[in-house]
Homo-oligomer: A and B are copies of this chain.
């Protein structure tokens, strides 16, 4: 699987976004924060609730300079058809990447061997194309966009404030820690 510190691998694919088919590559994610949000298949059950949840925080993420790419092993034709027919999916404004040749799922090593479907994995990538956060849940367990938002903020904070680290459960605006020799063994 992709690991913390790995660099985003190249890809090129067709995506559906806001009524259009567009070609997307890894270049789209360079120079800004990005979220790759994998799910098993269009027209299924947990997936739309998660995608709708994510759609809800997309405006905030855009304000924070974060792009979002949802990915399944369906085609962009299928994404478009789903967007047309599902009220939940119809709310999505971000990129829906077609990955029927499995290359993006393989790039992040989340393809379920033998099934041709991606695991339910979230990857947060920084502006240098380096993976900073990973979360994967088994089939049937829905993710939580609010917690994702918290972690993206923490990751942005420590990138912007070298020398500080965010303690457990840190929320935007709370105190952080500044590591120093004196703190060793004292927390």
Give me the interface of A with B, judged by CB distance under 8 Å: 1-5, 19-21, 41-46, 48-50, 52-54, 73-75, 77-78, 80-82, 84-86, 88, 99-103, 109-110, 112, 114-117, 119-120, 132-147, 150-151, 154-155, 158, 164-170, 177, 179, 181, 183-187
Contact A41:B75 (CB < 8 A) given known A134-B135, A138-B155: yes
Docked-complex contact A132 and B142, CB < 8 angstroms: no
**Contact check: which of B135, B136, B146, B184 meets A43 at CB < 8 Å?**
B184
Residue of B with least CB distance to A52: B168
Known: A116-B100, A136-B134, A185-B84. A168 touches B53 (CB 8 A): yes
Contact (Cβ within 8 A) B109 A3: yes
Contact of A185 among B49, B80, B135 (CB under 8 A): B80
Q: Given B2, B48, B85, B141, which contacts A81 in the complex, CB threshold below 8 Å? A: B85
Q: Are A101 and B77 in contact (CB under 8 A)?
A: no
* Leading 6 A-B pairs by shortest Cβ distance: A101-B116, A49-B167, A100-B116, A1-B1, A53-B168, A142-B168
Chain B residues, CB < 8 A from A164:
140
Of the listed residues A45, A135, A177, A179, the one surrounded by the most CB atoms of chain B closer than 10 A to its CB is A45
Q: In the complex, are the beta carbons of A46 and B167 less than 8 A apart? A: yes
Please give me the residue from chain B that is nearest to A154 by CB atom. Answer: B141
CB-CB under 8 A from A5, the residues of chain B are 112, 138
Residue pair B44, A179 in contact (C-beta under 8 Å): yes
